[in-house]
Amino acid sequence: MAKELELKYGCNPNQKPSRIFMEEGELPVTVLNGRPGYINFLDALNSWQLVKELKEATGLPSAASFKHVSPAGAGVGLPLSETERKIYFTPDGELSALACAYARARGADRMSSYGDFAALSDICDADTANLIRREVSDGVIAPGYTEEALAILKSKRNGNYNVIQIDPEYVPDPIERKQVFGVTFEQGRNEIKIDDSLFTNIVTANKELPEEALRDLKIALITLKYTQSNSVAYAKNGQVIGVGAGQQSRVHCTRLAGSKADNWWLRQCPKVLDLPFRKDIRRADRDNTIDVYIGEEYDDVLRDGMWEKFFETKPEVFTAEEKKAWLKENKGVSLGSDAFFPFGDNIERAYKSGVSYIAQPGGSIRDDNVIETCDRYNMTMVFNGVRLFHH
């Protein structure tokens, strides 16, 4: 390992020189392939912290998909259902737990994950490397790679795919610093642990919190710990299904994350699963076409006669009534917020996306209104007393 690493440039090509370095000791990362850039390393180091904490909190192999220093998805290594296999485009046959975690992380919001940086909590195996190989991605960080997995990843992007290995035993200094406009900021690292102790203060009439919901709330909050604030995350089945990051208004976070969660659920509708795609359509085009089909733009595609570019036969319109009926089938979703909900409108929007369980700090002068709105929909809400802002 080296003490410093020169980078091609900073956030933009005009920002030179650029490097990462340690004031004391050696860098905890080794570049095994490619030439990661400034933003790549920001994504890699933030995403590694996320998956490391997910593994510690759940005991399961974990993965994350990052874009522009916020997660597009995160998940743990639970087996995939047949429907999940279809919407994540995984091959037939058994997959390792780590590969399942990666499929969940990458599949939550495939449009946002396009060109992502991936993080893995465990040594990357061939199953996981083969899934990564199929996707448009900038790089991956993991504590190690099997020989077969490394060979697969090195063949990606004409041999230029970024592969970073991190020392899993590395512990950063408890004080962190950064500069803005020549001024140095200093603070203690956010070392808060997301564990069972944060989920005891249930403030709603409904006190039920099943183990699966507790797991998903942990996943949501750990994800938010490394998401640019304000932020809200929806989670289900061991993975994040919608992230609303970097919004100035909390309700906009809730709406944005909710729309992504809705998209994730709509992709599972049989009418979408059975779309007659042309065999020569590329993976990215297929993803975009599904989003067009789910959205209102498909009416324009039919009207303009462009459907033949994507489909063997003309699919029927996915009507607003059909979408609404299918969305009502989504139940048991968990939602985490990195700060308190100031109004009940967030709960109203969350309910539309199947949310049953909520974890948030509490502390708003309108907590009573928020609790009352949850009680109206028989939701379970926890006040964890912990703000998770990340900038």
Distance of CA 16 to the CA centre of its chain: 31
Residue pair 373/350 in contact (Cβ under 8 Å)? The answer is no
User: Distances in Å between the alpha carbon of 1 and those of 4, 28, 105, 127, 226?
Assistant: 9, 7, 29, 27, 26
d(CA 150, CA 203): 49
CA distance 99 to 118: 12
Measuring CA to CA, which residue among 95, 156, 103, 104 is closest to residue 126?
A: 95
Whether the bond into 230 is cis, omega within 30 of 0: yes
184: which 2 tokens?
């140095």
Catalytic amino acids? 67-68, 230, 391
d(CA 295, CA 241): 18
Helix (H, G, I), strand (E, B) or coil at 270: helix
153 Cβ neighbours under 8 A, 6+ residues apart: 33, 124, 129, 132, 133, 140, 145, 161, 163
Half-sphere exposure (CA, 13 Å, Cβ side) for 148? 6
Residue 313 CB contacts under 8 Å (≥ 6 apart), including other chains? 276
Sign of CA dihedral 222, 225, 228, 230: positive
8 Å CB contact between 239 and 104: yes
